[in-house]
Structure 1
Amino acid sequence: MNVFKLLSRSSKVPQNTSAQTLPSAGAAANPQLFGHDAPKPSTQDTKKNRKRKRGPDTTEPLAPLPADLDFFGNAPKADAADEAGAVSKRSKDRHANGGEETGVNTNDDADVYDEDEAKRILRSHKLKITVLEDFAPQVEDEQSEKKKKKKKKEKERDKGKKKEADKKKEGKKQLYPQPLGSFAQLRPRYNISRRLAENLLEQGYTVPTEVQLATLPLFLEKRKVNGGSSGAEYDGDFDLLTVAPTGSGKTIAFLIPIINALLSDKSEAAKGPRAVVIAPTRELASQIANEARKLSKNTGIKATLMMKGMEVVDRSEAESPAEELAAQEASDDEDEDNASDSDDEEKSVQQKKRKQTRAAKVKADILVATPLALLNAMKKKDGTVAEMSTVRHFVLDEADVLLDPLFREQTLDLWNAFTNPLLRVGLWSATMGSNVEALAISTLNTRWASLSSTSTKLPPRPPLIRLVVGLKDSAIPNIHHQLTYAATEQGKLLGLRQLLHPTAAPTNGDTPSLRPPFLIFTQTIPRAIALHSELLYDIPHEAGGSSRIAVLHADLSSSAREAIMTRFRRGEIWVLITTDLLSRGVDFRGLNGVVNYDVPNSAAAYVHRVGRTGRAGREGGVAVTFYTQEDIPYVKLIANVIRASEKLRGKSGDEASVKQWLLDALPAPTKREKQQLKKRGVEARRTPKGEDGKDNKRARISTKSGYVRKVENNRKGAMMANRQRGKMDKREVEQGSDNEFEGFD
């Protein structure tokens, strides 16, 4: 069945659609985004580069990558004799190990690089790992704080402040761990669990992405005496703040070290969860729990998704002492009043019923939840949050949202409730503002200060390491962006129908066409419902009709949302209309495109929306954004993100979709406009009715003409008037029956 032919109005199917590579065609051979397109330098160039050491030069060609990291075949192949020698060496190693066959390369000496080569490989993959050493200020007196303020003022007056700031930046320690060439190196090099290595092989993980290439060696490498700048001296004991593009495998990057650490730590029987992962939405939490179950299969590690009614803390322990005393006194009074045996039997029966109705405590090593669901399960009767000292690993997936004002209070309450001094925190997201980083640092400082005040015997404070992949707050470079001006709401609806029913092939051969399945994002839930009702019958009956399009939003029940997600993943739904509920973290591997029917609320929201396509290095994804006259003050935010993404791809000048004249013509939004847009979106389309109660034409999604709408409104008005008239007649009749003349006495 040709989907494009069924949806197209034209009888001629475009010629280039069959040759077009789509994300739905399958997994990419190399899921990495950077590091495989670097040109080979000549020997003369390398000699010149050795002599020149003044300042970093990003335009210099990079040296060729090693054979195990050159996944596109740019490195020269080994001779047949070398291959035979490698095979014989592997067979000897297997014989020496007692014939053990793990399916991985046991020759680890060829995979170890020196420090300079490791630096070059990490830089070619656009990886920057920094140790934030200024995150732990000591607690000092007020006098010392005043002195510090005076010194700061003097420094601000000094003209050489910029030089000092540059020196501080250069003084931050950079880490260059051994890059991971393949997942097959995890077991021989880092001695991970055999079952975990088998599960990775079973799930098809072979080539690591950039974030996995850097974080897994940091977490798994053991302490070395002469570790240099590889990060091995920390022995995996640190807090991590990671900024990596969407679809780059962040979930696997933090699940593998957690599962491996839980498998190696079997000293004590845990009385509660040892690892907690929180996510902003239920869909993302369910996805993380599924991945954790796949990786922990047959390992004895249990991963559970937090559901309603689950108990995390024993309620008997969670009750306050005053409540327990009151309960004991009440039971003693009842025992004195009811001394008969029958009453005692009834009491025992009631107590058994109460114990049966109480839910059992969750027995899981890894607990995945949303902040509110976990917080409600940890709350006591007096409203306080119970402490959990068993948690050793705390992961905030989409940390910028979890530390945003919407979830900030809930997240910080959970963070402070985990009182284990050995707690290690991981913050992961594709976008991370400076305010989020500052809040994370201050939370770590206050938590450590409270721990040091309560206990004297504390382990050394771990450092905070920051990992950045590519450019911060930028979209992935392997998708095509289209910024379309539609003028009005009717223009957007017309443009969406043209995307859904293409009439001809695109004029530009480099620009791929949008083909299902794809997502459509709207600003509010009412707009998503209205757009769904408008497009419900646009797909022809031969292609499945209205069953091919659906809407998903937060007002639906959890069972309905799960059913829609299942149908969409199976391919039964081609077009899914949704809000920002699905904009973060949810992995749709075969999604061919994303349509921003309404402009996103921020540049970060755009990065996460378009990141639903082009996952794991898949090429051919399309991101279309419609904007109207009301959106013009905010379009420059998105245009800058598109321009930065295309620069990473190598497009500039005439090849770029966003021209320089457009960037110059678009107005720059003020700070207040950015804040208002992030909180409320575009105000013109927020409510279907204006302040005067009349229909808001700017927020309306409909193709009905003004005359038809006027006739419908008149008809509705006449019906309402008839109903009101009938109610008035009934009231008059009732009042008349009370005052009727009943004759003489």
Structure 2
Amino acid sequence: MDIRKLLSRSAKKPQKGPAIKDGGPAKLPSAGTPANPQLFHDAIPESRGKKRKRGTERVEEEANDQEEESVDFFAPKSTKPKSKKEDQTDGVLETPKDGEDDSPAVKLLDEEECRQILRSHRLKLTLLSSAKEEEKKTKKSKKAKVEKKQEKHRNKELYPQPLVAFSDLRSIYGISRRLGENLAQQGYKIPTEVQMGSLPLLLKPETALGDSMKELEDSNGTANINLLAVAPTGSGKTLAFLIPVVNSIVQRRRASKDSGHVLDAVIVAPTKELASQIVNEAKKLCIGTGIKVVGMRKGMRIVPKDDQEEQGESSSEEEDSESEDEASKKKSSQPLAKADILVTTPGLLLSALSASSQEEQAPLPTVRTLVLDEADVLLDQLFRDQTLGIWKSCINPELRVALWSATMGSNIEALASSTIQSRATRLGLDTQPRTVRLIVGLKDSAIPNITHKLIYAATEPGKLIALRQLLHPTARATDGTQSLRPPFLVFTQTIPRAIALHSELLYDIPASAGGSSRIAVLHSDLSDSARDHVMTRFRNGEIWVLITTDILSRGVDFRGINGVVNYDVPNSGAAYIHRVGRTGRAGRDGGVAVTLYTKEDIPYVKNVANIIAASEKAAGIPASEASMQKWLLDALPTPSKEEKKKLKMYGVEARRGGLGKGKEGKETKGKGKTQISTKSGYERKLENNRRGAIQASKRRKEAESAKEASAAEESEWSGIDA
């Protein structure tokens, strides 16, 4: 062996992972659909069914039973081995045919098997305490250990039947045949973790829970379960709440033999982009079922108006029919929208409910299901009043509420539980509704199948240079990490910064590769048609780099996104989780999340660093090879509660330029230092001086012309006065 080759070898061990060819990663999120969309695949321990208690007779009996169940090679031929289908589904015996009962006799898993499967996929389901149990705890305990024991005693952990395959939805849980065909046509075979834990509870809780169902039943023997689900981004939450909604409407129509459209379910989302995406997914599931899915629009009538208002409108039309405006005629004559499932943003629906009634919001008595997608935002300060107003309008006693998000704080959970209990008290329900909390993986953490990078750029020009290096990689990465390839998203703190960054990068992509048409910007100041046009182009692959604000950070599904760039540090840890969750969706590997930070961002970086460290730990990366070392986490300053609150509401203070004056009426600091530009301060100063000189000369010319005009007027009137 050549001694020079031996000495030039790196001392660092090669990282395990996909081979890199041609300077790029072999696996990318845009490469195709993964074989398994599940995020967690922990191995089930070999001691399945055993209890770790030494010296007990039960353990000896279980050991003897396992020895007796060993393979007998001399057994008679009549013993048949398990089929592959039975081995996969762990005991499903039959599949119902068309025309048979939807609930056939099946062999379900026992509690220990359910517990092992749920733990291997990191699923935790908890039955939250009811209002009566909370009232018992009036005096606070002095010791924290006693409080924790009491809390564990109140919140009971559940182990329902997990959903192993989508085919079990038809055989075990009796969903509609047409709905099962639509799922098969969409290619759904293996459920994700959130679907594995939530669908059995929402479809048939009596089958999923078994004996634990007695605690959830009311006086009529039925269960009204409210679900609070916390699952990582891209884990299939939209499909998890759409399947039970569509199936319940189909089954109710089949029982009542009524094909009319009655508003049965309301799905609330924080942004228009997310609402339109939910509408598209729901329409795919409703093909051939006769269910009508409608996306809320401005001016749409959902509830009929009061009789007095209608009479007043008819009399005014008869008296002043000729003088009435055409726009008001169209508004008054707009028919009542008929829908089974309504997908809306909170502001649109609340304004429609308020416009149909003079005193308060009009009620929604037919709504049986209320879904809050991204519930932590809908119940935050920005949308809280609107969301609670919609919740209050749903007066049906059989209402079932489902809250879904990737991040859920304890304050949001407490608000949701108190709202459910107060609504039951206001309506005078006999039994208090119970809430089941589902947590997938580690709560409030980023997905483990993407690569995180935290890059220090020092200044704003340094961030722009770093972003240009991502657009034009000059060399292969030396540390073995994956490079960033388009398409990718770039997030900024404010709309003016997004516009400025777009104008700065407009000509960075060469004309041979598409030029400026490959870069676009999307924010809330654009019209609805412009936003839809940009989204369509980005999904079709015509746009490679999309610069945006947090309007696209939640819920929007871009399955082919290869990376996310946080040009500005996110306002909170939850914002970081949702931003980077736009890549690596549905178990796709190869996604990259890059966060650029400057000197002004150092006090706020620790939240992001902690999330990255937890994500790398969940991915199984050793502490010695992790990017977030312990010394770095200890060196970063910890922000106070007030600093976190200000950061969440206003963002980094140095980047509030372009938004006007601050809260106290003073100009924001660092307005000139945080401009997105590659020009030096001296060049910008010369440009400002030149611009100021031009404006001053214009003002002087205007003043001179005004003086000449006034002098001419005085000379004309002077002769008359004389």
TM-score by length of 1: 0.82
Q: 1:86 to 1:601 in 2, by over 3 A?
A: closer
CA distance change for structure 1 residues 236 and 126 in 2, over 3 Å: closer, same or farther? farther
Matches within 5 A, 1:167-206: 167-206=150-189
Residue 688 of structure 2 corresponds to which residue in structure 1? 713
Aligned to 1:314: 304
Query: What is the CA distance between 1:168 and its match in structure 2?
Result: 3.2
2:372 matches 1:385: no
Paired letter, 1:499: L
Matched with 1:132 is: 128
Give the Cα–Cα distance (whole angstroms) in 2 for the partners of residues 629 and 493 of structure 1: 15
Does residue 1:300 correspond to 2:290, yes or no? yes
Native 8 Å contact 1:277 1:367 kept in 2: yes
Task: Measure how far apart 1:177 and its partner are.
Answer: 1.1
Equivalent residue runs for 1:556-575 within 5 Å: 556-575=526-545
In 1, distance between residues paired with 2:669 and 2:446? 40
* CA pair 718-32 structure 1, distance change in 2 beyond 3 A: same
Given the alignment, which residue of 446, 452, 457 partners 1:486? 457
Which stretch shifts more, 684-693 or 414-423?
A: 684-693
Aligned AA (1:386): A
Q: Which amino acid aligns with 2:684?
A: R
Take 1:299 and 1:609, find their aligned partners in 2: how far apart are those partners? 35
Quote the Cα distance in structure 2 between the aligned partners of 1:86 and 1:271. Answer: 40
1:684 counterpart residue number:
654
Q: 1:123 aligns with which of 115, 119, 134?
A: 119
Distance 1:271 1:378, change over 3 A: farther
* 1:647 counterpart residue number: 617
Once superposed, what is the RMSD of the aligned Cα atoms? 3.5
Is the counterpart of residue 51 in structure 1 residue 64 in structure 2?
Answer: no
State the SS of the aligned residue for 1:699: coil
**Amino acid corresponding to residue 569 of structure 2 in structure 1:** V
Residue 739 in 1 paired to residue 709 in 2?
A: no
State the AA in 2 paired with 1:118: C
Shift of residue 115 of structure 1? 0.9
CA contact under 8 A between 1:218 and 1:232: conserved in structure 2?
no
Distance in structure 1 (CA, Å) of the matches to 2:705 and 2:227: 72
Identify the residue that residue 586 of structure 2 maps to in structure 1. 616
Answer whether contact 1:223 1:232 (CA < 8 A) is retained.
no
State how far apart, in whole Å, the 2-side matches of 1:97 and 1:211 are. 28
After the TM superposition, which residues 422-441 of structure 1 pair with which residues of structure 2 at under 5 Å, given as runs?
422-441=398-417
For these two proteins, the number of residue pairs brought into alignment is 664
Deviation at 1:39, TM superposition (A): 6.7
SS in 2 for 1:656: coil
CA contact (8 A) 1:272 1:312 kept: no
Deviations 1:627-659 (A, max 9, x none): 110000010001111111111111132211111
Residue ranges of structure 1 left out of the alignment (5+ in a row): 1-13, 54-62, 64-78, 139-144, 335-342, 453-457
Where structure 2 has 5 or more consecutive residues not aligned to the other structure, the ranges are 1-19, 57-65, 67-78
Report what 1:223 is aligned to.
Answer: 206
1:345 and 1:550 map into 2 onto residues whose CA distance is 49
The 1-side partners of 2:668 and 2:589 are apart by: 47
Match of 2:383 among 392, 396, 407: 407
Tell me the equivalent position of 2:74: none
Q: 1:174–1:229: 8 Å Cα contact kept in structure 2?
A: no
Q: What's the % identity of the aligned pairs?
A: 56
Partner of 2:446: 475
Note the C-alpha offset of 1:552: 0.4
Query: Cα offset for 1:16?
Result: 5.3
How much has 1:447 moved relative to structure 2? 1.6
User: Once the two structures are superposed, what CA deviation does each residue of 1:350-373 show, in whole Å capped at 9, x if it has no partner?
Assistant: 999947852111111000000001
Distance 1:384 1:595 in 2: 45
Residues 612/98 of structure 1: CA separation in 2 closer, same or farther (3 Å cut): closer
Q: Is the 8 A contact 2:194 2:440 kept in 1?
A: yes
**Partner amino acid, structure 2, of 1:506:** A
Q: Per-residue CA shift, 1:380-407, capped at 9, x if unaligned?
A: 3636311111111000000000001000
Matching residue of 1:605: 575
Q: Distance in 2 between matches of 1:345 and 1:695?
A: 59
* Structure 2 Cα separation of the partners of residues 427 and 38 of structure 1: 30
Map Cα deviations across residues 167-195 of structure 1 (whole Å, 9 max, x no partner): 43134222111111110111011111011
2:128, 2:435 within 8 Å by CA — same for their partners in 1? yes
CA apart distance, 1:693? 8.8
Give the C-alpha shift of residue 450 in structure 1.
1.6
In structure 1, distance between residues paired with 2:112 and 2:408: 29
5 Å matches for 1:35-184? Answer: 36-38=41-43, 41=46, 49=52, 51=54, 83=83, 109=106, 112-135=108-131, 152=139, 155-156=140-141, 158-159=142-143, 162-184=145-167
When residues 491 and 40 of structure 1 are mapped into structure 2, their CA distance, relative to the original with a 3 A threshold, is same
Cα deviation, 1:633-687, whole Å, max 9, x if unaligned, reads 0100011111111111111322111111110100000000000000000010111
Counterpart Cα distance in 1 of 2:94 and 2:607? 56
Q: How far apart, CA to CA, are the structure 2 residues paired with 1:304 and 1:21?
A: 38
5 Å-filtered alignment, 1:520-599, equals 520-599=490-569
Tell whether 2:389 aligns with 1:416.
no
How far apart are 1:107 and its partner, in Å?
A: 9.7
Return closer, same or farther for 1:637/1:739 CA change in 2, 3 Å cut-off: same
